Amino acid sequence: MKPIPPDSVGLVTPARLRFAKPLALASGGALADYEIVYETYGTLNAEASNAVLVCHALSGSHHVAGYHSADDKRPGWWEHHVGPGKSLDTRKFFVVACNNLGSCFGSTGPASINPATGRAYGPEFPMVTVGDWVASQARLADRLGIRKWAAVVGGSLGGMQALQWAIDYPDRVAHTVIIAAAPKLTAQNIAFNEVARQAILTDPDFHEGRFYDHATEPRRGLRIARMLGHITYLSDDIMREKFGRGLRGGKLNFDYQVAFEVESYLRHQADSFVGHFDANTYLLMTKALDYFDPAGAADGNLAAVLAPVKADTLVIAFTSDWRFAPARSREIVKALHDNDLNVSYAEITASHGHDAFLMRIPRYVDIFTAYMDRVYAGLTS
Amino acid sequence: MIPARVDFRIIGDWIRPGSRVLDLGCGDGSLLAYLAESKGASGYGLEIDDAHVEECVRRGVNVIQTDLDAGLSEFDERSFDYVVLSLTLQAVRYPDRLLREMLRVGTEGIVTFPNFGHWRTRWQLGVLGRMPVSAALPHEWYNTPNIHLCTLLDFARLCEREQIEVLESQVVDHAHRPRLALRLLPNLLGEIALYRFRRARLP
């Protein structure tokens, strides 16, 4: 393999903690006993004041930066932003990234063994919400000796967790960075998720969520769900730029094999998704997205719900993101300034669509870094 | 602290301590930073330029990246003590609408703009027959962002028409120095005009 770049956190090993105290969930259920897998980068200072929590999005994990082995082909999903000298500078901050409950990357989820039955949870795994995740992350913070985060940051569904943190634990968050997020999903957004879920739920290999028992998985459904998702994460412009109407074999074949480059791309994305992502997790994550609506409890008045917030906030949106459009980020900004809270908002010109939050875009890097430098200056002053 | 620009000092003298300020076209955030430090003011800057937004974030000034021509609809009525528009009025698409918006969102407005009635401007246009270029108006006609230039008299007339009551005004030269002569012939000698105003109370 190539040598690990010097601005990477390098080789990292995930850690695991067990929580034997039941976690009450928004659904009314509870998880009696669960495990959280997480990674940390950098060093927690003596005052435990330099900790930053990174929250992951729908298909993300605790593996935010660095490499798991010398043979790893790819680093963590936010390598562009986490490491020595990067936006989340691991020489300054102690970065914590945890895998959310319900995931398929190590924390307790539908594929884990339910101690009550001795077999995989499958459909018995309770639905989890953004609020439930934040509560579980707060417990992780307790165990790590972190009373207050210097910042909670995240993109997309991760940004929603950052916002929820500021609402639920106002005294435990100094700053939030909310990237490519929204205060709730639109009907159109929920509709996309529903089509994705239907693809999985109607796959004959789904077996009511018990596909583990049948040594199979709903590959077709999961593939279609991922393809649909991918279309919505990109913009019309970037698809035109990347694929146009380019033909894979240079000519039309008059059959249903791959003709256009974009078809090849989608099939490749789908293929690399199945086999490493769990269909039940996909269902759970999309539901957590759909249900997220902190203002719902106050008749849609987000400003009222944000009244307890104390954190300073940076909100970032991307011009071509139509899944979580800049206007949706502005709703968060408005609700924060309606409460006279410190908030800044940057709208990054980018053609990558929603996926821009994962990219290394110079202006995005600069503004994120500028903000985190302020966060750090606040710790040391 | 760097000695403040004179126009900043004038604005600083005009506002009450602890005020809530919205700065339209806040640039690198230096005015808001100055008002925060000297007057304990707080608030937000609106700015469209990427580099300026980053500078604001770097200096810890709240900035919202937006286009002023899109209006101030996300701000509620009377949510600020002052809404400031510094050297930007001449570059917006609808200065009259923006003034109305300023006085919807804020109790008082503060505007500064380059005075097109300055003698040098008049000389260049009236005698030389060329579009004026000066320290206060450094652009050529073909690349200027300034699309709505006005004189002190023009601004006063707009205020009258919009039922805006001018509370204070001052002119300075391009180095933002107030000079005695400027007070005598402001529309001829003032290069930059500063106004503080509010919605006129109807009799």
Label the pairing between strands A82-83 and A88-89.
parallel
For the segment A308-323, the average pLDDT, to the nearest whole number, is: 98
Q: Taking the mean position of all CA atoms in its chain, how far away is CA A177?
A: 13
B144 token code pair: 């200027």
How many percent of chain A have pLDDT more than 90? 96
Q: How confident is the model at residue B180 (pLDDT cuts 50, 70, 90)?
A: confident
For the segment A241-249, the average pLDDT, to the nearest whole number, is: 94
Neighbouring residues of A125: CB distance < 8 A, sequence distance ≥ 6: A102, A109, A110, A112, A114, A280, A284
Q: DSSP labels for A247-263?
A: BSSSS--SSSS--BHHH
The pLDDT of residue B203 is: 64
For the segment A91-102, the average pLDDT, to the nearest whole number, is: 98
CA torsion angle for A279, A285, A288, A289 (degrees, to 10)? -120
A197 conformational bin, left if phi > 0, alpha if psi -120 to 50, beta if neither: alpha
For the segment A233-261, the average pLDDT, to the nearest whole number, is: 94
Residue B96 in this model has a pLDDT that exceeds 60? yes
pLDDT digit string (tens) for A99-111?
Answer: 999 999 999 999 9
A165 token code pair: 């943190």
Find, among B193, B183, B175, the residue nearest to B116 by Cα: B193
**B20: nearest CA partner in chain A:** A340
The pLDDT of residue B181 is: 75
Residue A2 in this model has a pLDDT that exceeds 80? no
**Contact across the interface for A345 and B20, Cβ inside 8 Å:** no
A/B interface, count of CB pairs below 8 Å: 51
Label the pairing between strands A343-348 and B20-24.
unpaired
Closest residue to A344, CB basis, from B57, B75, B79: B57
Q: How confident is the model at residue B1 (pLDDT cuts 50, 70, 90)?
A: very low
Strands (E), chain B: 20-24, 42-47, 63-65, 80-86, 106-114, 164-172, 192-199
For the segment B146-151, the average pLDDT, to the nearest whole number, is: 94
Strands (E), A123-216: 151-155, 175-179
The pLDDT of residue B167 is: 97
**Contact across the interface for A374 and B42, Cβ inside 8 Å:** no
Find, among A192, A197, A189, A157, the residue nearest to A279 by Cα: A197
A146 token code pair: 């972190």
The pLDDT of residue B4 is: 60
**A316: nearest CA partner in chain B:** B65
Residue B175 in this model has a pLDDT that exceeds 80? no
| Measured distance between the N- and C-terminal CA atoms of chain A, rounded to whole angstroms | 42
How many percent of chain A have pLDDT more than 70? 99
**Distance (Å, whole) CA B74 – CA B71:** 8
* Smallest Cα distance from B1 to chain A, Å: 17
- Is B57 near chain A, with CB under 8 Å? yes
Q: How many residues does chain A have?
A: 381
For the segment A295-317, the average pLDDT, to the nearest whole number, is: 97
Provide the mean pLDDT of chain A: 96
Find, among A225, A236, A172, A233, the residue nearest to A198 by Cα: A225
- Residues of chain A in contact with residue B63, where contact means CB-CB under 8 angstroms, are 344-346
Three-state DSSP at A110 gives: coil
How many percent of chain B have pLDDT more than 70? 97
- Is B69 near chain A, with CB under 8 Å? no
Residue B40 in this model has a pLDDT that exceeds 80? yes
A321 is catalytic: yes
The pLDDT of residue A242 is: 95
Catalytic residue among A136, A156, A329, A351: A156
Burial readout A44-68 (b: 16 or more C-beta within 10 A, e: otherwise): beeebbbbbbbbbbbbbbbbbbbbe
A54 token code pair: 């990174």
**A313: nearest CA partner in chain B:** B62
Neighbouring residues of A64: CB distance < 8 A, sequence distance ≥ 6: A39, A41, A54, A56, A76, A77, A78, A79, A82, A95, A97
Residue A381 in this model has a pLDDT that exceeds 90? no
Three-state DSSP at B9 gives: helix
The pLDDT of residue B39 is: 96
Q: DSSP labels for A3-22?
A: PPPTTS--B---EEEEE-S-
Q: Decide: B132 and B125 in contact? Cβ < 8 Å.
A: yes
Q: Decide: A35 and A16 in contact? Cβ < 8 Å.
A: yes
Q: Decide: A222 and A371 in contact? Cβ < 8 Å.
A: no
Closest residue to B76, CB basis, from A314, A338, A370: A338
Q: Decide: B92 and B98 in contact? Cβ < 8 Å.
A: yes
pLDDT digit string (tens) for A214-243?
Answer: 999 999 999 999 999 999 999 999 999 999
A156 is catalytic: yes
pLDDT digit string (tens) for B97-118?
Answer: 999 999 999 999 999 999 999 9
pLDDT digit string (tens) for A5-35?
Answer: 999 999 999 999 999 999 999 999 999 999 9
Neighbouring residues of A199: CB distance < 8 A, sequence distance ≥ 6: A220, A221, A222, A224, A225, A228
For the segment A317-346, the average pLDDT, to the nearest whole number, is: 97
Residue B3 in this model has a pLDDT that exceeds 60? no
**Contact across the interface for B64 and A370, Cβ inside 8 Å:** no
Helix-strand-coil split of chain A, %, nearest 5: 40, 15, 45
Provide the mean pLDDT of chain B: 92
Three-state DSSP at A54 gives: strand
The pLDDT of residue B79 is: 95
Residue B77 in this model has a pLDDT that exceeds 80? yes
pLDDT digit string (tens) for A344-356?
Answer: 999 999 999 999 9
DSSP code of A344? Answer: E
Q: A97-101, A195-199, B52-56, B183-187: lowest mean pLDDT where?
A: B183-187
Cβ-defined contacts of A348-352 (< 8 Å, 24+) = A348/A316, A348/A317, A348/A318, A348/A319, A349/A318, A349/A319, A349/B50, A350/A318, A350/A319, A350/A320, A350/A321, A351/A235, A351/A237, A351/A238, A351/A241, A351/A320, A352/A234, A352/A235, A352/A238, A352/A318, A352/A320
Q: Decide: B58 and B80 in contact? Cβ < 8 Å.
A: no
Q: Taking the mean position of all CA atoms in its chain, how far away is CA A55?
A: 6
**Contact across the interface for A347 and B76, Cβ inside 8 Å:** no
Complex-level ipTM: 0.94
The pLDDT of residue B59 is: 96
**Distance (Å, whole) CA A344 – CA A36:** 32
